[in-house]
C-alpha cells in the first residue's frame, strides 16, 4: 500500500536549518531564531490533519516514509520509518526525527537526514518568505 500526502508551506527569513536530529514543518506563520529545526512555516497541514489512511499505514512496523522537500527547482529527499507509537495528534506541527522518539508532533522516525543535513542551496530558498515550499510525504508498507 502506498499513500501520498502533499503539504504546501512557505519559507521564512529566520529558517536556519541547523538542528542535528530533527526537522519541522509548521502551520505557524512566525519563527524565531531559536526554531533551528523549522524548515517551513504556514503549512496547510499539521500531524492531526493527515489522511487517516496515511496515519494507519505509517503506524505499521514495516512502514517506509519518504519526505520530499521542494523549493523552486531544488529538491531534497529524506528516507525515514513509521512506528506503531505514532499518534499524529498535534494540530500544527510535522516533525521528522533521526531517533526513535515519538510524540504527537512526530510523523516519521529513524530519518537519514535532519535539518542540518539539508542542502544549503535548499535552505537559502527556504529563507525567502515569498518562496512556496512543497512537502510530499509518501508512506509504503
The predicted-structure confidence for 9-50, as pLDDT tens digits, reads as follows: 999 999 999 999 999 999 999 999 899 999 999 999 999 999
Distances (CA, A) of 128 to 36, 59, 112, 131: 15, 34, 25, 5
Q: What is the DSSP string of 88-121?
A: ---SSEEEEESSS---TTEEEBS-S--GGGS-HH
How would residue 139 be classed by pLDDT, with cut points 50, 70 and 90? very high
Phi and psi at residue 140, to the nearest 5°: -130, 145
Instruction: Give the per-residue pLDDT at 20.
Output: 97
Instruction: Give the per-residue pLDDT at 57.
Output: 98
CA dist 18 and 36 (Å) reads 5
Instruction: Give the per-residue pLDDT at 115.
Output: 98
The predicted-structure confidence for 56-84, as pLDDT tens digits, reads as follows: 999 999 999 999 999 999 999 999 999 99
Identify the structural domains of the chain with CATH numbers, from first to last: 2-140 (2.60.120.630)
Dihedral of CA atoms 28, 31, 35, 41 in degrees, nearest 10, equals: 40
Q: What is the pTM of this model?
A: 0.97
CA dist 115 and 17 (Å) reads 5
Residue with C-alpha cell 529563507? 127
Average pLDDT, the chain: 97
Amino acid at each position: 500500500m502506498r499513500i501520498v500526502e502533499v503539504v504546501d508551506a512557505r519559507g521564512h527569513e529566520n529558517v536556519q536549518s541547523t538542528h542535528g536530529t530533527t526537522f519541522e514543518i509548521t502551520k505557524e506563520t512566525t519563527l524565531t531564531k531559536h526554531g533551528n529545526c523549522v524548515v517551513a512555516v504556514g503549512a496547510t497541514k499539521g500531524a492531526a490533519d493527515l489522511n487517516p489512511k496515511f496515519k494507519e499505514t505509517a503506524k505499521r512496523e514495516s512502514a517506509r516514509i519518504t519526505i520530499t522537500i521542494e523549493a523552486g527547482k531544488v529538491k531534497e529527499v529524506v528516507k525515514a520509518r513509521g512506528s506503531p507509537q505514532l499518534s499524529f495528534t498535534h494540530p500544527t506541527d510535522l516533525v521528522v526525527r533521526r531517533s526513535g522518539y515519538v510524540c504527537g508532533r512526530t510523523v516519521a522516525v529513524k530519518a537519514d537526514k535532519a535539518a542540518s543535513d539539508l542542502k544549503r542551496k535548499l535552505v537559502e530558498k527556504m529563507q525567502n518568505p515569498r518562496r512556496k515550499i512543497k512537502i510530499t510525504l509518501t508512506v509504503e508498507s
